[in-house]
Structure 1
C-alpha cells in the first residue's frame, strides 16, 4: 500500500510538472508561476508524504525545469510582438541553456552563477506588463534596463546564494534571523524573536503601500486585466510589428530550411543533453548531439509540410502522430544498435515523445508568427 501511495504521489507531481507547462503558451503568467510553485514544493512533498529515494532529485528537478522553460521560450516565439524584446529573450535563453550544459559536462557549480537564469524572470516581467499594457510600448532602453536589473539585482545574488554559498533560505531564515534550530515549528520560530517578527510584518506592509503608490503612477492601462494572450488586442502598424522581428524575412520569402532548422537543432540538442543525464542514457555527449541532429533533420521535411499547410487542429494532430511514430522508430533502432545496454528502450521512446513535442510546438508557433507578420506586410 505504501508503494502504491508513493507511486501515486510521484505520478501526480511529475504529471503536473509535465502538463501544466503546456498551458504557458495560452496563459503564460499564471502557468509559469504555477510551474515555479510546483518546482519549489515538489521536493518537500516527496520528503513529507513518500519514502522515495531522492538521490537523483537534482538531475530530475533540473531536467523538468529546463522542460518548462523550453515551453516558455517557445511561447515567446508564439506570442511576443515586441521584436527587440524577443531577441533579448532569445539571447538570455540560449545563454542559460549553454551554461546548464557546461555544468552537466564539467560539474562546476560556479558555471550556474556565470550563466544565470535571467530568462525566467525576464519572461515573467514581460508577461506581467502584458496583463494590462501593450508590451510594444517598451522601448529598447526599457527592455535592456529590465533585463539588466533582473540579471544583476535579482539573479546574480540568487545564483550565488544557491550554487556558490549553497545556503538554504529556510534554514538561514530560522537559524540566523530568528535564532532557532532549522526545522523548528514556525510558531516557535516567530515567538523566539517577536521584535523581528513585527519588523518583518511592518516591512511587508510598507512594501504593499509602496506598490500601491507606484501602481498609481503607471501609465493608464491599455486594456482590462487579462491572462489569456489569445484575447484580441488593438491592431498594430507594420512598423510596430516588424521592428527587430527575426521572422520578417521568412514571412516575405516563405519558410525555408535555413535559420529555423539550425535553431531547432541547437535548441533540441542542448535540451537533449540535459535530459540524457536524467534518463541515464550512458552515451558520449557528442553521440547524443548527433542522434538529436539526425532526428531533427529527418523530421524537417515532414514538419515543414504541416507548417505550409496551416495550423488547424486536424493537421496538428496528424503531424504529432506522424512525428511520434518516426521519432520512436528512429530512437528504437538506435537503442537496438547500442546492444551493450547503454540505452534503455523505454527511455528512448520517452525521449522521442519529448523531441516530438518540442519540434511540433516550435514549428507550429514559428508558423503562426510568420503568417501573422506576412499578413501585416501585405
Structure 2
C-alpha cells in the first residue's frame, strides 16, 4: 500500500477501536457512530484505491469488539433487568454463531445466528431517551427482540451473507428497487407518526443521550469494591460468563491473526486460565481495599499485570511445544485487560441494582 493508503487504513481501524470506548458514557450516539464506521469503512478503503486482504475476517472481528463493549455497558447503564437478560442471550447467541462461522466459513450460519443484539441495544437506548425502560416487562422486551429478529435482521443477514448482494449495485441494476426502498421507509414513518406515536405514554423526562447516573451505592470504584469484597466469589456465574466472553472473542481473533501453534481447545484453556487469574487478582484487590478510580490508570496497571502473566507463560510454553508471537501476545494482553476491566467495573453495578430491586420487593 502507498503511504496515503496506509494512513487511511490506520485512521479507519483506529476509529473503529476508539469510538466504541464512548459507548458506556454515550450509548446511543456512540453505537450509531460505530455502526456507520462498520458500514462505510470498506467504501473508504476502495475510494483510496485499495481493499485490505481478509476484509471479511477483520470486519467480523471489529464487530465483535464494539458489540462486546456495548454488551458490557448494559450492565453499567440499563435499569431494566429483563432487558439485560434478553441482551445477554442475544449477544452470546450471536457470538457463538460468529465463532461457528469463523471455524467453518459457512455463511448461512450468520443468518441462523443474526446480530439482533445490536438493534435491540439501539431500540432500548432510543426508548430511554424519553421513557423509563424499567416500566417495560420481560414480555415487552422479548417482543421487541422478536420483531427485530424476524422483520429486520433475518432479511438483512440473508441479503448480506447468503445472497451476498450490494445495495448500491442493486439500486443501479434494478430500476424499481430504489423507489421501493424509499416508499417502504416512508410507510414506516407514516405508521409510526399516525398509529404508534399517539398511543405512546407521556415522556418520563427530557431527552438526553448521556448514560443515566449510577446508583449512589455504586457511584465510585471504591464503593463497588466494597460490595464485591462482601458478596463477590471467584467461582461464580459472573466468572464463568467472563471466561466464555473472552475465550470466544479470542478464538474469533485468532482466525485472522498470525497465531501460535495452538488449536482452539488449547486457546480456550489458556484464555480461561488468564481470565480466572484476573478475576482472582481483582477479588483480592477488592478485599484489600485497593481501588483505582481512574479508568486509564487502572487499564495501564492491568496491562502491566497481564504482561507479567504472559511473560511467565511464555517461559513455560517451550515445555508444552507452544510458540508465542510478540505482536499477537501484545494484542491479547490489551484485549484481555480491556474486557476484564470493564466487566469488573460494570458487573457490580448491575448486581447492586438487582439486589436493591429484590430488597424493595421483599419490604
Q: TM-score, normalised by structure 1?
A: 0.82
Deviations, residues 251-300 of structure 1 (Å, cap 9, x unaligned): 89611121111111011000110111222215311121112111112111
Q: Which moved more, 1:13-22 or 1:340-349?
A: 340-349
Counterpart contact for 1:27–1:227, Cα < 8 Å? yes
Q: CA deviation at 1:207?
A: 4.3
Q: Distance in 1 between matches of 2:312 and 2:66?
A: 28
Give the equivalent residue in structure 1 for 2:222: none
Q: CA deviation at 1:168?
A: 1.4
Aligned to 2:208, the other structure's residue is in SS state coil
Aligned to 2:255, the other structure's residue is in SS state helix
1:289 aligns with 2:268: yes
Q: Distance in 2 between matches of 1:216 and 1:320?
A: 47
Q: Distance in 1 between matches of 2:106 and 2:160?
A: 13
The 5 Å alignment of 1:148-297 reads 148-177=146-175, 197=179, 204-213=185-194, 214-231=196-213, 254-257=231-234, 258-282=236-260, 283-297=262-276
Q: CA deviation at 1:322?
A: 3.0
1:124 to 116, 122, 145: 122
Counterpart contact for 1:116–1:159, Cα < 8 Å? yes
Q: Distance in 1 between matches of 2:348 and 2:88?
A: 17
Give the equivalent residue in structure 1 for 2:224: none
Deviations, residues 132-188 of structure 1 (Å, cap 9, x unaligned): 000011122211111111111111111111121111122112102359xxxxxxxxx
Q: Distance in 1 between matches of 2:181 and 2:102?
A: 39
1:346 aligns with 2:327: yes
Give the equivalent residue in structure 1 for 2:301: 322
RMSD: 2.8
Give the equivalent residue in structure 2 for 1:189: none
Distance change >3 Å, CA 205–CA 41, structure 1 → 2: same
Q: CA deviation at 1:375?
A: 5.6
Q: Distance in 1 between matches of 2:128 and 2:142?
A: 17
Aligned to 1:26, the other structure's residue is in SS state coil
Give the equivalent residue in structure 2 for 1:38: 37
Unaligned runs of 5+ in 1: 180-195, 236-249
Q: Distance in 2 between matches of 1:202 and 1:262?
A: 47
Unaligned runs of 5+ in 2: 217-226
Q: Distance in 1 between matches of 2:114 and 2:182?
A: 31
Q: Distance in 1 between matches of 2:71 and 2:183?
A: 38
Counterpart contact for 1:26–1:229, Cα < 8 Å? yes
Q: Distance in 2 between matches of 1:21 and 1:368?
A: 20
Q: CA deviation at 1:6?
A: 1.9
The 5 Å alignment of 1:2-151 reads 3-51=2-50, 53-151=51-149
Q: Distance in 2 between matches of 1:19 and 1:154?
A: 28
Q: Distance in 2 between matches of 1:120 and 1:202?
A: 25
Q: Distance in 1 between matches of 2:33 and 2:313?
A: 36
Counterpart contact for 2:81–2:354, Cα < 8 Å? no
Distance change >3 Å, CA 338–CA 66, structure 1 → 2: farther
Give the equivalent residue in structure 1 for 2:344: 363
Q: Distance in 2 between matches of 1:333 and 1:39?
A: 37
Q: CA deviation at 1:7?
A: 2.2
Aligned residues: 343
Distance change >3 Å, CA 118–CA 4, structure 1 → 2: same
Q: Distance in 2 between matches of 1:21 and 1:28?
A: 9
Distance change >3 Å, CA 160–CA 207, structure 1 → 2: closer
Q: CA deviation at 1:215?
A: 2.3
